Structure formats: C-alpha cells, structure tokens
Structure 1
Amino acid sequence: MRIRQYAAFWRLLWAVAGVCAMAVASITSSQACAADLADIQRRGVIRVAVPLDYPPFGTIAPDLTPIGYDIDTAHYLANRLGLSLELVPVTSANRVAYLVSGRVDLVISSLGRTAERARTIDFSVPYAPFFYGVFSARDEGMWASADALAGKTIGATRGSLEELQLSTMAPATTVIKRYEDNVTTLAAFTSGQVDYIATGTPIAASLVQQGGARVPHPVLLLKNSPCAVGLRKDAPVLRERVNAAIEAGLNDGTFEAMSHRWFGVGLPADMQPSHTLIAP
C-alpha cells in the first residue's frame, strides 16, 4: 500500500474524529525543589519507557535498532535536556507501573491522558495525535453507536486505553478477547481469530500500509486521546522542561517532520502550542 493511501487513511480517521487533540490544562511555573531533574542530571542518563510492539510509534528495525515516532521523541527530548538516553521496552500493561516504581523517568509510549491515570502520574502537553476505534475486517461503514457492538467479539490489548474504553461502552453481550500485548492482538486479527479489533488509528493505518487479505476498516470511534509523556508527580521541574521542549519542537517543525516520516501526513492543524513555557 503506497504512502498516498496511507496518508488518505489518516485524513479519513481525523475527519471521523471531528477534531484532533487540544493541549492539556496550562502548566504553571513550579516552585518546588529541582531535585527531580537534578538527580537525573547527576546520573547523566534519562531512562525512557518506550513501546517496541506498536508501529509506527515503536518497533524493531531489521538491524534490531528501535525505531518509531516515540523512539524519535525520546531521542529528541534527551538531546534537549543534554542527557544520554536509555530506552526501556514496556507494554501497555506495565508502562505506568515502571514509572511509578522508579524504573524509568519518563513514559513515551503512545500514552493517553485519563482521569484514572492522572490520579497516579502527571502528563506533559500532547506531542502526537491519537484516537482509538473499533475496526472490522470488512468494509461495513461507520456504525451509528456502540449498540452495534452487541453480540460481537472484539480483540483488544489488556490494560490499553482502548480496552478500558471498550469495556465501558460495550453492551453486556459483547465478548472482549483480551491479549497480553499488541503483537498478539494484531496477530489475532490478521490470522482471523477475531473479525474486530479495538486499537489506535496508527496501528490500523500501519496494517493498511502493509496490505494483506485482512485490512482494517473503521466502524466505531471510541475516544480521541492525544499522546502525552508520562511523568511522576514528584518531578515538577522535569515536567516543565519536557513541556518546554515539546512546545519548541512543535514551533520549529520537529514534530511535523516526524509525523510525515512515520504517519505519512503532517500534524493536524489543531495540534499547536497552547501556551508559552520557559525555554529548556
């Protein structure tokens, strides 16, 4: 499937979503002690949780090098902070736990902001567009509502935002088959174990790009959820610096170029800096 079709698929999904992500609530200058960032600077290395099973956000190249939008974002932020980078592979189910337990300093893993997660961790301003949907192996057109899920079996990755959202929206007769990672979920769809899958639009678009007998077709929008960097709540200075770096990258075209590279289309017009932060 050529990149032109890939880009057209993204534009279609943005149109279905209506509008893309708006930046989260404004960040005020922190008066807390800078120990959160200072400790990392003394170490000289920032540990970043990233996906390696979720293209185009994170995957492994033929030469075994991690590549993807989230990988590029991790390198960009480490460079802006003047730190060496340690990539830590995670899954949807364990990425927040890695952050809370202190095994990583940041989560850059197609992470969406939710009220539940916000009680445990902090978030940066958005750095990438993302929304979740249900996709069919057949071209059925868009469903009118979640009522159409009744009686159907949907594959989803356990602990992912789409799985949590699907659980709240699905009628009682919907069967949700939960898999432990994204690779297994996608394999269930492409092999015909399930005819429907709940996933993020980049994953669906990557399957369209690859081609094959079972190409996903969007049938239901679940949630518009732009990606943000996850941080511990005891790291307000680090959060400020990460926010400033993201704003700078949006202004200077860094993330626009990354979007073209990995999604085949530029960032949506809505994804603009919403406030000015101190320069990193």
Structure 2
Amino acid sequence: MTSITRRSAFGLAAAGAALALGGRPAFADQLADIRKAGKLRVAVAMGVPLFAFVDANVKPTGSDVETAKLIAKDLGVDFELVEITNAARVPTIQTRKADILVANLAITPERKQAVDFTVPYATLNIVVAGPEQVAIKEYKDLVGKRIAVTRATVNDQMVTQQAKGAEIVRFEDDATLITAVVSGQADIVSTQTAVLSAMNEKRSGAKLVTKFVQQELNLGIALPKGETALKGWLDDWIKAKFASGELNAVFKKFHDRDLPTDLVQRTV
C-alpha cells in the first residue's frame, strides 16, 4: 500500500468513525463545549398549555421554559430558546440542533433507542376526553368514532395501537389541536390534561370531560446519545433541585399540583 493510499484509507476510517458518532469527533464532551461556548441551547415545544406558551407580555414561559432557564443559570451560561414542534423533539436532539430538550417528552423504550434521557423531572397524564353524553369508557368504545390527536406523541401511538377502527385525525402541534376542538372540527380527543383544560377554557359550548386516563407519563430531559458528562450533571441537578423543593415550586406554579414524591427514584 502506498503512503497516499494509506493516508486515504486512514481518512476514510476517520470519517466513518465521525459519522458513527453523529458527525462529532471521538471523545467529544458536550458539557465542556457548552461551558466553553457560554451558552445552552434548549429545545422547547412551544404552544403547550402550562408547559410552554407565550404570556400576556409576549414572552415565552411555562414550567418547561422556566425549568430550562434555571438549568442555564446554574450552569453559569446564557440561555438560548430553540422553539420547535412536538414532532421535531427527538430529531432536534439527534441532529444536535439543540444541546438538550425540555419539552414534556415522555420517556419510552422506543425514544431511548434514539436519544438519552435524564431521570424524570416532571409527569403528565394523557386522557381520552369527549362530550359528557358520549359513552366512552375504554379504547374499544372509540371504534367508528373520530378522535383527534397531536402527531408524534405517546397519545398518537397509543390510540393508533389500541383503538383499531377509530378514525384518527392528526394535528401538527397542541395549539392546532386546541383550535380544531374549539372550532368544532373535533369533539373527541386524546391529549394531556393541561391541553384539555385549555380547550375547555376556549370552548363556547359544553365542556369536554375525561372519559378515561390512558397513562401517567414520566417526562425526561433528552440529550444526544453518549454524552455521559452532560447526563450526569443533569441527573444530579434534577435530584438536587427536587430535594430542595425548587423543581416542585416551578412545576406547581403553573400546574397547581405537586410532583410525585417518588419522582426521581422512578425506574424508566
């Protein structure tokens, strides 16, 4: 093998290794990179009631936004909000368009194959809701009915898998779903309780009621695969802020309920 050929082979091998690591060099340390840059880019799914929304002063707020700001503050770096949709949550982290994601993302086995998660930092309940007079007690009662969901959510997955025969209408984000329900395009939904509350606040007619709870979900902060230093720092941060009561205070301010007492001990 000539020296040129050897150099070419080495270059191809190095390129292959970089691609295998998502285009980043071996032994990259995103926590160190964040500190060096002096900035934390946090992806947040905006338009989600209570978690991430725009307030009366047209400023982003909500439990996810305020949690993300607190992380940046304690890291000693500037906070940069990366606004995304629900469907873009996992891809945004996979492509490293943000350093971390704080966006009411449930920890699931499928998602853990694509991104890493911290210990849970919050929870939410997903429910099926509809008009009081409509008889729905379980998934089989949705057969032949039209049900609205937000695309690429656990709600979407569960309804798709367990409500065979239902007509599923998918919307790109929670804000669009809320608009559809308020305008009368749909009156049976699978969503989270915070979104249901926002729907009922805006509906002029009869309120939608919870028919059954599909699941309580543990929410984790997502980050790229293999960033052990960053994950370790975030896990320690969540546990410390939970123990001090600060994390619960941020959550309760918006959701008017406490986080589960066993939250950070949950195995997910």
Please say whether Structure 1 and Structure 2 have the same fold, judged by a TM-score greater than 0.5: yes
Does 2:221 match 1:232?
no
1:136 aligns with 130
Does 2:223 match 1:256?
no
1:195-236 deviations in Å (ceiling 9; x for gaps): 111111221234445674242311122222121100111211
2:143 aligns with 150
Contact 2:148 2:177 in 1 (8 A): yes
Contact 2:187 2:208 in 1 (8 A): no
Instruction: Find the aligned partners of 2:145 and 2:84 in 1 and give their Cα distance.
Output: 30
Does 2:80 match 1:86?
yes
Q: For 1:168, give the aligned amino acid.
A: Q
Deviation of 1:34 after TM superposition, in Å, equals 6.9
Q: For 1:68, give the aligned amino acid.
A: G
Decide which moves more: 197-206 or 87-96. Answer: 197-206
Instruction: Find the aligned partners of 1:224 and 1:139 in 2 and give their Cα distance.
Output: 25
2:44 aligns with 50
2:127 aligned counterpart, secondary structure:
strand
Deviation of 1:33 after TM superposition, in Å, equals 5.3
Q: Alpha carbons of 1:182 and 1:274: their partners in 2 closer, same or farther (altered >3 Å)? A: closer
Q: Alpha carbons of 1:139 and 1:73: their partners in 2 closer, same or farther (altered >3 Å)? A: farther
Deviation of 1:127 after TM superposition, in Å, equals 0.8
Q: Alpha carbons of 1:93 and 1:182: their partners in 2 closer, same or farther (altered >3 Å)? A: same
1:156 aligned counterpart, secondary structure:
strand
Computed over aligned residues only, the root mean square deviation of the Cα atoms, in angstroms, reads 2.1
Q: For 1:244, give the aligned amino acid.
A: D
Q: For 2:162, give the aligned amino acid.
A: M
1:36-75 deviations in Å (ceiling 9; x for gaps): 2111111110100012210100001122110000001101
Does 2:118 match 1:121?
no
Does 2:174 match 1:182?
yes
The runs of at least 4 consecutive aligned structure 1 residues that moved more than 6 Å come to: none
Instruction: Find the aligned partners of 1:44 and 1:194 in 2 and give their Cα distance.
Output: 46
1:166 aligns with 159
Structure number with the bigger relative contact order (C-alpha 8 A, sep ≥ 6) is 1
2:34 aligned to which of 40, 54, 66: 40
1:66 aligned to which of 53, 57, 60: 60
1:129 aligned counterpart, secondary structure:
strand
Q: Alpha carbons of 1:36 and 1:185: their partners in 2 closer, same or farther (altered >3 Å)? A: same
Instruction: Find the aligned partners of 1:222 and 1:68 in 2 and give their Cα distance.
Output: 24
Contact 1:112 1:226 in 2 (8 A): yes
Contact 1:247 1:273 in 2 (8 A): no
Structure 1 segment 193-204 matched on structure 2, within 5 A = 193-204=185-196
Greater helix share, structure number:
2
Contact 2:120 2:266 in 1 (8 A): no
1:136-191 deviations in Å (ceiling 9; x for gaps): 13265761x311111110011111221112111112x2000011121111111111
2:87 aligned counterpart, secondary structure:
coil
2:233 aligns with 241
Instruction: Find the aligned partners of 1:175 and 1:141 in 2 and give their Cα distance.
Output: 17
1:154 aligned counterpart, secondary structure:
strand
Contact 1:107 1:229 in 2 (8 A): yes
Contact 1:190 1:214 in 2 (8 A): no
Instruction: Find the aligned partners of 1:216 and 1:238 in 2 and give their Cα distance.
Output: 42
1:168 aligned counterpart, secondary structure:
helix
Q: For 2:188, give the aligned amino acid.
A: Y
Structure 2 spans left out of the alignment, 5+ residues:
1-25
